[in-house]
Amino acid sequence: MTIIKYLFICLGLLFISSSNANETHYKPFILAQQTNIEFTTLVQNTKLQLSQAGYSIEGEYSLLPGHHVFIISNTRLKQHAGLSTNGAYGASIRVAITKTKENIQLSFNNPTYMAHAYRMQEDLSDITQQLQSLLGFIQNFGSEKGLTKDELRDYQYKIFMPDFEDRLELAEYANYTVAVKKVEASLKKGNGGTKLIYRINLPNKNETVFGVSILGKAEQTECASDQFIMDKIDFQKLKSSAHLPYEILVTGQRVFALYAEFRIAISFPDLSMVGDNSFFSIMCAPSAIEHALTLAAGNTVDK
């Protein structure tokens, strides 16, 4: 190789590195407030703020002690979610209030981060800005460096692990109407040790997303429980309570979920593979979550 060719290659690599360094890096969560307001008062005030700003409270989740999560949506989110394949995963935002030893944290999952992770057509930056103006903004968190738009849209925790396009098929029914009824009835029965948190129907599209809490009280689902997983991996000072709940997606006659290896990793991209508070510490969770969600979808699981 000539010296001139070598210099051109070095300059090219330097340009690529510089371009990447200038890209925006997104983080999975936004810390809106840290306060010493009484917990129930903050829950009530936040609910009122969201409602007055035009957000519908699709569900509320408070399984874990000192945690309260609002699942919110509005017409824009639902309409936009319908524009992309499996966009229903992005039809809502999770707003979390978490009590810690030091204070109470108000946070929400970053709409722009999730829009890229779910390969939606728009980045929902207007929703992000609106929620920051409404609830407050201290910092983005959940990843030290964050991920770029391209990294999120092609995200895998590790090579050969699932990405957003890899869908976990839970069940199939005669048609969309039957599928929705079967899943909702199954969730209301608590099949798989689950609990129904919310249901969102996308306008003008045969697609419905259900929010699901996993209690871990059914056989072979203990390792899937929300509390088990969060106790293991939500160990940082800033809490990622807005990771929950999980989703079940009905699209047409088929019922899907995201693989746990993707769904958990996209909220906790910096978790190490091994060691304390690592993915290894919840290595039993993906199969247990699949088991729980399959039963929750009204299907059976071979023993």
Question: What are the start-end ranges of the E strands in 88-217?
Answer: 93-99, 104-109, 139-141, 167-172, 194-201, 207-214
The pLDDT of residue 139 is 98
Give me the domains of the chain, ranges plus CATH numbers: 21-153 (3.30.310.70), 167-296 (3.30.310)
The pLDDT of residue 18 is 43
Give the predicted TM-score (pTM) of the model.
Answer: 0.91
The pLDDT of residue 9 is 45
Axis crossing angle, helix 285-296 with helix 176-189, rounded to the nearest 10 = 110
User: Which residues of the chain fall below pLDDT 50?
Assistant: 1, 3-11, 13-19
The pLDDT of residue 277 is 87
For residues 55 and 118, what is the distance between their CA atoms, to the nearest angstrom? 21
For residues 260 and 157, what is the distance between their CA atoms, to the nearest angstrom? 11
The pLDDT of residue 220 is 86
DSSP-assigned letters across all residues of 110-125? -HHHHHHHTT-SS--H
- Cβ neighbours of residue 212 under 8 Å, at least 6 residues apart? 187, 194, 195, 196, 197, 245, 246, 247, 248, 293, 296
3-state secondary structure of 292: helix
Name the phi and psi angles at 300, rounded to 5: -115, 160
The pLDDT of residue 11 is 46
- Cβ neighbours of residue 277 under 8 Å, at least 6 residues apart? 232, 233, 235, 271
Closest CA relative to residue 258, chosen from 59, 11, 89? 89
